[in-house]
């Protein structure tokens, strides 16, 4: 699979936890774009789309989910379990059809970084495998 999955370091002390989710040393290109938080209720999913030019990074910060990734060329699907207890950051490159489903019993909180600010007139979001 041609995605970058990084195990994130959780720093903990008497005050709580600190996790660096995204910083310049984690990515090859200059950081631009936007950061979002999405919540998903148990049994629900988000996504089922791909981008032609945008790169997305996902990190589940609370709850648990299964991220499904389908290569637009081979149609092969791979699944990755993401949980707030063992934080990971996954980079989703262009042309990878992706969706995440909450498999837990509580609300899942997903932190998302997209390397391009959303443009309503040119969203670069495709909900079908056909171009």
Taking the C-alpha atoms of residue 1 and residue 35, their distance in angstroms, rounded to an integer, is 25
Taking the C-alpha atoms of residue 1 and residue 70, their distance in angstroms, rounded to an integer, is 10
Q: Which domains, and CATH codes, for the chain?
A: 4-114 (2.60.120.10)
Paired tokens of 64: 């648990």
Once rounded to an integer, what is the mean pLDDT over residues 103-123? 92
pLDDT of residue 128: 72
- β-partners of residue 105 are none
pLDDT tens across 41-73, in order?
Answer: 999 999 999 999 999 999 999 999 999 999 988
**Would the pLDDT of 131 be above 60?**
no
CB 96 within 8 A of CB 3: yes
Q: What is the pTM of this model?
A: 0.80
């Amino acid at each position: 699979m041609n995605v970058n999955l990084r195990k994130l370091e959780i720093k903990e002390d008497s005050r709580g936890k600190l996790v660096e989710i995204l910083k310049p040393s984690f990515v090859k290109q200059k950081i631009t774009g936007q950061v979002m938080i999405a919540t998903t209720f148990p049994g629900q999913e988000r996504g089922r789309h791909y981008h032609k030019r945008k790169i997305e990074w996902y990190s589940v910060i609370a709850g648990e989910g299964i991220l499904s990734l389908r290569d637009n060329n081979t149609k092969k699907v791979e699944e990755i379990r993401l949980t707030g207890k063992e934080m990971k950051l996954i980079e989703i490159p262009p042309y990878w059809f992706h969706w995440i489903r909450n498999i837990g019993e509580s609300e899942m909180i997903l932190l998302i970084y997209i390397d391009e600010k959303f443009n309503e007139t040119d969203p670069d979001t495709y909900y079908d495998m056909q171009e």
